[in-house]
Amino acid sequence: MLRYLSRVTDSNAAASIIYTYTDEAPLLATYSFLPIIAAYAGTAGVAVETRDISVAARILAQFGLADDALGELGALAKTPEANIIKLPNISASVPQLKAAITELQSQGFDIPDYPENPQTDAERDARAKYDRVKGSAVNPVLREGNSDRRAPASVKNYAKTHPHSMGAWSTDSKTNVATMGDKDFFSNEKSVVLGADDTLRIEHVGADGTVTVLKESLPVLAGEVVDATYLDAAALDTFLTAQIARAKAEGVLFSAHLKATMMKVSDPIIFGHVVKAFFPAVFAEFGDVLDAAGISANDGLNSLLEKIKGLPEQAAIEAAITQAYADGPALAMVDSDKGITNLHVPSDVIIDASMPAMIRTSGHMWGPDGAEADTLAVIPDSCYAGVYQTVIDDCRINGAYDPSTMGSVPNVGLMAQAAEEYGSHDKTFEIAAAGTVRVVNAAGDALIEHQVSAGDIWRACQTKDAPIRDWVKLAVTRARATGSPAIFWLDENRAHDANLIAKVNEYLGDHDTQGLDISILAPAAATQVSIDRIRKGEDTISVTGNVLRDYNTDLFPILELGTSAKMLSVVPLMNGGGLFETGAGGSAPKHVQQLVKENYLRWDSLGEFFALAASFEHLATTAGNARAQILADTLDRATGTFLNEDRSPGRRLGTIDNRGSHFYLALYWAEEIAAQTEDTALAAAFATFAGRLKDNEQTIVDELLAVQGSPADIGGYFRPDAAKAEAVMRPSTTLNEALASL
């Protein structure tokens, strides 16, 4: 692991920024951008340190083979000194986790295979360690504050003057959302507010009275909201069969949209139900064979096709799959050229990214024939499906949105201290036998009970009171700062939301809201108000829970800006520190594949630029570092120039990629520092440096372009070789020498 510690050159204030190594494209971009950050930060006496929280590092930490950087940062996030820049990371699905394990084993690390069905104590221990790495394992640890995510003015203005493409909508579009609306997580939810500190237990009581403890200890605090719900598996199967028939009858593509990365236990199981529903004959006829081979529908069709190779029944299973394709509706495709369907891998089609992309593209997804087509988007749980249906209905009536005129929907998201983490695998269970699942307090009283059947998916989550208070405070703060209306997206007909509505109404009384437009609406109604205002060029703050925060900060930015990766994402930590996230947009595995194949990285680091400026500004305020404020202000102006000059990575070989965009940001930033008048010594130092970069601009660009077109060896996917990755990502000797001189 590389670690940058910039020398302290100014006694103004020595302080640190923690920059995280994560995964895939953001990790590779870090090898190029971090030396620039370290060189510039050093001139303000700011140390830039790194911590590796990649999925590979987190796996190794579980087995004592690497530092527990995530745990260290989690503790730091609770202190006033925290200043952490967090890049997108892999929220590992089981197939991704297995691939990472295999790579680490090939690199010589002595770690066990992922135990599918642990039988021994050693296997159970290994499974527990791997489960701590699965899914959205990073964010709940670091997010000791609520989310303030919005489009910076420079990005919004750029989108208006350089509008991205939006597919035309037809009033005849047959694209729709299908959702259960009954016997799902929404309809079965129950919620309680704890009157005092307690320790809860989750247990299953079988029909014969046998009690199985599912979770022994769940500590809770006074005022905490605890929810539990389940999805009826039989009702899910009936629903899925009906939607497959509906898609066939309507002549539209069939697609499933889940969150198998964040909802790391429930949604892979639901995905498995979808796979079985689409290929019913395969699992009816060959279910025993597949089980014996260790094949799970939860892992997707791709895993099944790989694991049946060499089985005596391989040809018959493949024939049954082919027949299911012929009998069913056309499947939406991830890659039609390669035959990769919506059902191949559970983490390929993630709802928060896939639904906005579909809406932006005329309500279309790609079909098996390589052409766009109307689509039935299947979102089984009805909690938030109505948000997408509302937007689709609006586009069908009024046409596509216009990025050159549309307003914005910034978000204030409830997420501090793992609030509303319904993805928490430690409180999600696939029910083994019919009975009752109970949430019981220390006195033995049942707070919540559900009658369940075998195969049902039961889950619970908790939301502490302090984050809710802070969330309301942040919403009021943003409403006052912007003058925009703020809408709490809460549905009084949902058990959890009803309890939150009571708290919101109470805590709003703690603040001066005179003159502010603050309201509470159910998600679909809030969506309608927001998009009505969007079409008039007006902004509306969406104040949402954790899951909707995830969805909204992709949906609206993708429509407004063409991407969610260009958002400013600030997390004011509850104890005074700052966490600066580099926008949404995932970790871009396809970009890594292109780099390895062609030595070209399309990842756009604009989100990193915004996060870095906010980090410097926070440091200036908390540490009284005047030069840090200069770096923040000049970086902000440089980013505006960067956008106006269109220095983001191009779309094809022969144009600048991520490395070239970093060079131009460094050039514009140096020029802005040289031009500022607050610190003449700093200006003088950067005048020389900026001149050097400008004089060598063509040489540097030529050196960066020269490496394109040939394969690049980075020594690993999940855990690249640091020396190889740095060599690939820093190919300009001229730029490297200039940075060293600074």
Residues 523-550 have pLDDT tens digits of 999 999 999 999 999 999 999 999 999 9
Locate the domains of the chain by residue range. Answer: 15-144+573-741, 176-185+232-398
> Percentage of the chain surpassing pLDDT 90?
89
Distance of alpha carbon 679 from alpha carbon 206, whole angstroms: 73
Q: Put residue 646 in one of left, alpha, beta given phi > 0 → left and psi -120 to 50 → alpha.
A: left
Model confidence at 141, in pLDDT bands (50, 70, 90)? Answer: confident
Handedness of CA 430, 433, 434, 437 (dihedral sign): negative
Question: What's the mean pLDDT in 551-566?
Answer: 91
- 627, 43 Cβ separation under 8 angstroms: yes
> Does the pLDDT at position 668 exceed 80?
yes
pLDDT of 92 reads: 86
Q: Which residues pair with 543 in a beta bridge?
A: 412, 488
Closest CA to 34 of 52, 21, 44, 53: 21
Distance of alpha carbon 214 from alpha carbon 212, whole angstroms: 6
Residue 203: which H helix or E strand, with range? strand 198-206
The CB density around residue 211, as the number of other CB atoms within 10 Å, is 13
Query: Helices 69-76 and 55-62 meet at what angle, rounded to 10?
Result: 100
> Does the pLDDT at position 327 exceed 50?
yes
Q: How crowded is the C-beta side of 85, counted as CA atoms within 13 Å?
A: 29
Which amino acid is residue 259, in one-letter code?
K
Distance of alpha carbon 536 from alpha carbon 327, whole angstroms: 46
pLDDT of 8 reads: 34
Model confidence at 257, in pLDDT bands (50, 70, 90)? Answer: very high
Distance of alpha carbon 176 from alpha carbon 254, whole angstroms: 10
Residue 242: which H helix or E strand, with range? helix 233-250
pLDDT of 583 reads: 64
Q: What is the pLDDT of residues 2-61, one digit of tens each?
A: 434 433 333 333 479 999 999 999 999 999 999 999 999 999 999 999 999 999 999 999
Distance of alpha carbon 595 from alpha carbon 605, whole angstroms: 15
- Tell me the H-state helices in 405-522: 465-482, 495-508
Question: What's the mean pLDDT in 376-404?
Answer: 97
Q: What is the pLDDT of residues 270-310, one digit of tens each?
A: 999 999 999 999 999 999 999 999 999 999 999 999 999 99
Identify the residue whose tokens are 């060293």: 740
Closest CA to 508 of 539, 522, 487, 523: 487
pLDDT of 742 reads: 87
426 contact partners, CB below 8 Å, separation of at least 6: 131, 215
Question: What's the mean pLDDT in 147-155?
Answer: 90
Residue 47: which H helix or E strand, with range? strand 46-52
Burial of 11 (0-12, 13-18, 19+ CB in 10 A): exposed
Burial 325-362 (b: 16+ CB within 10 A, else e): eeebbbbbbbebeeebbbbbbbbbbbbbbbbbebbbbb
Q: What is the pLDDT of residues 690-734, one digit of tens each?
A: 999 999 999 999 999 999 999 999 999 999 999 999 999 999 999
pLDDT of 585 reads: 60
Mean pLDDT, all residues of the chain: 94
pTM: 0.85
pLDDT of 153 reads: 85
Distance of alpha carbon 153 from alpha carbon 168, whole angstroms: 27
Tokens of 177: 């959302």
pLDDT of 587 reads: 77
> Does the pLDDT at position 430 exceed 90?
yes
Distance of alpha carbon 252 from alpha carbon 329, whole angstroms: 7
> Does the pLDDT at position 324 exceed 80?
yes
> Does the pLDDT at position 340 exceed 60?
yes
Model confidence at 424, in pLDDT bands (50, 70, 90)? Answer: low
- Tell me the H-state helices in 43-113: 55-62, 69-76, 94-106
